[in-house]
Amino acid sequence: MKKKLLHLTVNDEYHELYISPKKLLVEILRDELGLTGTKRGCNTGACGACTVLLDGAAVKSCSILAMQADGAKVTTVEGLADGAELTPLQQSFLDHGAFQCGFCTSGMLMSATAFLQEDRATKDIKEGIQGNICRCTGYNSILRAIKAVAEGKYKEEGR
């Protein structure tokens, strides 16, 4: 299959890549750009481990072709912290022990980030991460971590 040119801004960095048009977004992020923070747990869109932000909205990057994201802005877990400075949500995850094995954590953080930025007015926190499976924590520590940020317990310093 003929390769196509993909224009993609990932974590504020602009890329032009020649890719096979059948490649998934998650494959480009992980295999081409080396951003392995984004995981894959099922390849069927069911587990949410591959969740990234696409122009601000949470999407499962195993469920869209990379070419569908042509020209878009993608944020992955690597794009959250500013150097050593964690986002309030990351800090809250740390304080609340909102992860165990950590394999779902990147996707969870991205869904929660989108929830806090976009959907907190209309959705319940539980609904915000309904599409993400965590087999370790039983979710409640994650919900507590997101709630603390939603309630303004973590100041959005400098960001």
Partner 1 sequence: MKKYTVINTPVHNIDGIAKITGRAKYTFDITLPRMLHGKILRSSYPHAEILNIDTSKAERLKGVKAVLTGKDTLGLKQGIWRRFKELCDEEILARDKVRYIGEPVATVAAIDEDTAEEALDLIEVEYKPLPGVFEPLEAIKEGAPQLHEQAERNINVTRHIEWGDVDDGFQKADYVREDWFRCSSQAHVCMETHCAVADYTPEGKLTVYTSTQSHYYIKVLLAEILGLRENDVRVISRYTGGGFGSKFELDSAQFCSSLLSMKLCQPVKIVLSREEEFTATKRRTPMFYYVRSGVKKDGTFLAKEARVFTEGGAYTAMGATALYLTGFFQSFPYVWPSYRYDGYRVYTNTAPTSAMRGFGAPQATFCAETQIDLIADELGIDPIEIRRKNAMYPGYEVPGQATIQSCGLDQCLDKIDGWIKSRGELPRHRGIGIAAYGFMSGGIFNWFDTPYAFSSAVIQINIDGKVDLFVGSQDMGQGSNTTMAMICAEELGVKFEDIRLHMGDTENCPVDLGAWGSRETLMQGNAVKMAASKAKQQILEFATAKLSPNIVYDLDIKDGWIHLIARPERGLSYYDVVKEAIRGKEGQPIIARGHYTPHRKGMISPAYSFGVQAVEADVDPETGKITLKNCVTAHDCGQVINPLGVKGQLEGAMAMAAGYGFTEDLPMDEGKILNPNLVDYMLLRATEMPETEVMEVETYEPEGPFGAKEAGEGLTNPTAGALSNAVFHATGISIKNLPITPEKVFNALKEKKKK
* Binding interface with partner 1 (CB under 8 A): 30, 35-44, 46-47, 49, 76-78, 80-81, 86, 90, 93-97, 99-106, 109, 124, 126-127, 129-130, 132-143
Among 35, 16, 18, which Cα is nearest to 26's? Answer: 35
CB 77 to partner 1: min, Å: 4
**Nearest residue (CB) to partner 1, 69 versus 128:** 128
Q: Which residues contact 2 (CB under 8 A, 6 or more apart)?
A: 21
**Nearest residue (CB) to partner 1, 47 versus 64:** 47
What is the rounded distance in angstroms from the CA atom of residue 92 to the CA atom of residue 73?
A: 25
**Nearest residue (CB) to partner 1, 70 versus 124:** 124
CB 69 to partner 1: min, Å: 19
Among 146, 141, 142, 94, which Cα is nearest to 117's? Answer: 146
- Residue 17 pairs with which residues in a beta bridge? 6
Pair type for strands 51-54 and 73-75 = antiparallel
CB 155 to partner 1: min, Å: 18
For helices 88-96 and 105-114, the axis angle rounded to 10 degrees is: 130
**Nearest residue (CB) to partner 1, 9 versus 43:** 43
CB 31 to partner 1: min, Å: 8
